[in-house]
Amino acid sequence: MTNLTRSLLLIRTLFLTLVLTLTLGCQGGIQNSPGTSGPEIIPYPDPSLSPTERARALLSIMTLEEKIGQMTQIERVYLQDGSPIAQFHLGSVLSGGGSTPNPNTPAGWADMIDEYQDQALSTRLRIPLLYGTDAVHGHNNLMGATIFPHNIGLGATGNPQLVEEIARITAIEATATGIHWTFAPSISVPQNIRWGRTYEGYSEDPELTALLGAAAVRGYQGQDISAPDRLIATAKHFLGDGGTTEGIDQGDTQVSFETLRTLHARPYIDAIEAGVKTIMVSFNSWNGIKLHGSRELITDLLRGELGFDGLILSDWGAVKQLPGNEKDQIEKAILAGIDMVMVPDDFRGFTRSLIDLVNQGRVPMERIDDAVFWILRLKFALGLFESPMVDRSQAETIGSPDHRAVARQAVRESLVVLKNNGVLPIGDSVQHIHVIGTKANDIGVQSGGWTITWQGRRGTITAGTTILEGMQSLATDRGITLSSGRTIPENTDLVLLVVGELPYAEFEGDTDEPRLKTDDVEFHRIARESNKPIATVIISGRPLIITEEIEHWDGLVAAWLPGTEGDGVAEILFGVYEPTGRLSFTWPRSMKFYELDEAEILFPLGFGL
């Protein structure tokens, strides 16, 4: 752009801003009543200008209350009838884990989000709302959506094209219900499997995490974020969430700046290069200082050194964990560089405190303008001002065979064969298979946390195929008989033992030693006492300590948390596809491994038969 065109554009922006100010001024700041405004478009000031120019123009006519409202993100359950959106000029609403409309259908979501959008569009400036959620392995809060393997399984595929495709499909399914923004990918680099969020990370290896994280960002956001089926991505949680002492969730990451930089910040470099639009700050501390109050890491490192030029979001209620009273906490977080706060409940308290802080000069207006600029620019870039209402045209593709086929391919590629004394793939000599272990037939268990509910649940929580169902249909095709249950028939040629972890998510998933629990210990004993060959499948969010049990197994496959397409597991067991998965985490022999004992490794990073 020449200097002349630049000046002309600037004059045009200023002129249009003036016209707009006058128009709105004449209307005397009219508040349209909710519902009557519809999707009418006000150009701010002109769609042919860049999102940056439009954001600046809009910012220049906003009141302090309107600005603070934009910085506020509230969970839907705290909105009652949605009227606080208009009243407090809220910038964003989220669905937390399991926070769904009733009915939990594509139309249920779209209707809910359109209603909220009507509220936002009924305000003086008609700034549309951003709706966010954790679509972390598919649009996982929605019943009937395609559920992909959790990131730990995708890490084992090592396949960035596949990860990009999964994110693209997730974007289609989520945007078809009105979601604009996913709080994914998690690019944590978990260093201790005690952490209950280990499975949300692709790998303990920062390079692999960087590769796959960037692929996910490209898949969610696409080339052109204003396309109707593109989703804003969030790289999370900045910074060092995977490095806390003993893997304690929201704990303290006691490492040098050097380690923080080369290990935990590494994937952010690629995510930023891939154009990630938002980054979520982490609950954890770094050497005793909470990330949410760290200007050094948020402003100096992330904005400065790493050059991030998008929106920085807080995590759920995390600002309230900072020291001091409510105002001290908010002051600290905003001055550290957070642009939008996932409050997520008390919009009154938050907005009132932040307005006071600005009026008292404790938070400068420049910081507020800077924060609101990132938010508005993102909304303009997304094309929200032009198309604020839900585009429902892709709703029939949700959970479609095409989408499920990609999930099934991901399952095949994510399985890691860890041991095989000739029992895999299941060969011609096998006439009868016996499947033991209740986890073999459970969509909820194989999907894990962040599926329909926050912590996840056992049982038929959504549509899909269990591992047992997948086994059954392939066995039938081959004329093999199959039984299941606690009693192993005499004619059994192979026992398939399916064990693992029950669903969990953040903090509830933390454990001192991940291992087989009561039921599974019993199933293992029954299998062992049958004296038949045993092939074991482990469904889990991390490696488990299985050093004693593994001696009795002739085959072992790590299936991670495969999601709704359990037939992908059966296809590997039967040799329909060759296993290609490789461990993206070291598999420890015992928890002494974390006291830096190399001899305590059962299977090394990258292992897979």
Q: Could you give the 3-state DSSP secondary structure of residue 492?
A: coil
Determine which residue in the list 88, 202, 454, 587 makes contact with ligand BGC, applying CB under 6 A.
454
- Choice between 236 and 439, CB closer to ligand BGC: 236
Closest approach of Cβ 94 to ligand BGC, in Å? Answer: 6
Residues 6+ apart with CB under 8 A from 402: none
CB of 497 to ligand BGC, least distance (A): 33
Q: Is 96 in the site for ligand BGC (CB under 6 A)?
A: yes
Smallest distance, Å, CB 64 to ligand BGC?
A: 27
Residue 101 tokens, joined = 């409309």
Q: Which is nearer to ligand BGC, 136 or 424 (CB)?
A: 136
DSSP 8-state symbol, 434: E
User: Is the Cβ of residue 316 or residue 587 nearer to ligand BGC in the bound state?
Assistant: 316
Report in angstroms how near the CB of residue 99 gets to ligand BGC at its nearest.
6
Is residue 449 involved in binding ligand BGC (CB under 6 A)?
A: no
Q: Which of 97, 213, 456, 500 binds ligand BGC (CB under 6 A)?
A: 97
Phi/psi at 604 (5° precision): -80, 160
Q: Which stretch binds ligand BGC (CB under 6 A): 54-62, 94-102, 296-304, 590-598?
A: 94-102
Residue span binding ligand BGC (CB under 6 A) among the ranges 40-48, 90-98, 441-449, 478-486: 90-98
Interface region with ligand BGC, contact rule CB under 6 A, candidates 38-46, 59-67, 93-101, 261-269: 93-101
Interface characters, 222-261, with ligand BGC (x: CB under 6 A): --------------x-------------------------
Indicate the SS3 state at residue 117: helix
> What is the C-alpha separation between 265 and 205, in angstroms, rounded?
12
99 or 590: CB nearest ligand BGC: 99
- Determine if 183 is a binding residue for ligand BGC (CB under 6 A): yes
Q: In the bound complex, what is the minimum distance in angstroms from residue 97's beta carbon to ligand BGC?
A: 4
Residues 299-328 that bind ligand BGC (CB under 6 A): 315-316
Residues 343-372 touching ligand BGC, rule: CB under 6 A, are none
Of 363 and 461, nearer to ligand BGC (C-beta) is 461
In the complex with ligand BGC, the residue whose CB is nearer, 183 or 593, is: 183
According to the 3-state scheme, what is the secondary structure of 514-546? Answer: CECCHHHHHHHHHHHHCCCCEEEEEECCCCCEC
Phi and psi angles of residue 471, each rounded to the nearest 5 degrees, phi first: -65, -45
Q: What is the smallest separation between the CB atom of 341 and ligand BGC, expressed in angstroms?
A: 12
Q: Considering the complex, what minimum distance in angstroms separates the CB of residue 251 from ligand BGC?
A: 13
Q: In DSSP terms, which residues pair with 565 in a beta bridge? A: 465
Among 173, 501, 506, 510, the residue binding ligand BGC under the rule CB under 6 A is 506
- Rounded CA-CA distance 267/536 in Å is 34
Task: Classify residue 600 by its DSSP letter.
Answer: G
Prior bond to 543 cis, omega within 30?
Answer: no
Rounded to an integer, what distance in angstroms lies between the CA atom of residue 304 and that of residue 318?
Answer: 23
Q: What is the C-alpha to C-alpha distance for residues 268 and 266, in angstroms, rounded to an integer?
A: 5
CB 410 within 8 A of CB 571: no
**Distances, alpha carbon 285 to alpha carbons 206, 289, 290, 373, 557, in Å:** 20, 5, 4, 28, 36
Considering only the stretches 92-100, 157-165, 297-305, 369-377, report the one whose residues sit in contact with ligand BGC under the rule CB under 6 A. Answer: 92-100
Out of 98, 293, 470, 581, the residue judged to bind ligand BGC by CB under 6 A: 98
Q: Is 510 in the site for ligand BGC (CB under 6 A)?
A: no
CA distance 151 to 453: 18
Please name which of 256, 254, 236, 237 lies closest in space to residue 246, comparing C-alpha atoms. Answer: 254
Closest CA to 549 of 475, 491, 499, 607: 499
**From candidates 53, 66, 134, 520, binder to ligand BGC by CB under 6 A:** 134
Q: Which residues contact 21 (CB under 8 A, 6 or more apart)?
A: 60, 61
The minimum distance between CB 574 and ligand BGC, in angstroms, equals 37
Question: Would you count residue 99 as binding ligand BGC (CB under 6 A)?
Answer: yes
Residue 64 CA to residue 351 CA, distance in Å, equals 10
Q: What is the side-by-side strand order in the sheet with 252-253? A: 252-253, 285-286, 289-290
The residues assigned a catalytic role are 315, 506
Residue showing the smallest CB distance to ligand BGC in the complex = 96
**Cβ of residue 182: shortest distance to ligand BGC, in angstroms?**
9
- Rg of the chain, C-alpha, whole Å: 26
Q: Work out whether strand 416-420 and strand 587-588 pair parallel, antiparallel, or are unpaired.
A: unpaired
Size of the site for ligand BGC (CB under 6 A): 11
131 binds ligand BGC (CB under 6 A): no
Which amino acid would we find at residue 143? Answer: M
- 529 CB neighbour count, 10 Å cutoff: 10
Identity of the residue, 234 or 466, whose beta carbon is nearer to ligand BGC in the bound complex = 234
Contacting residues toward ligand BGC, per CB under 6 A = 96-99, 134, 183, 236, 315-316, 454, 506
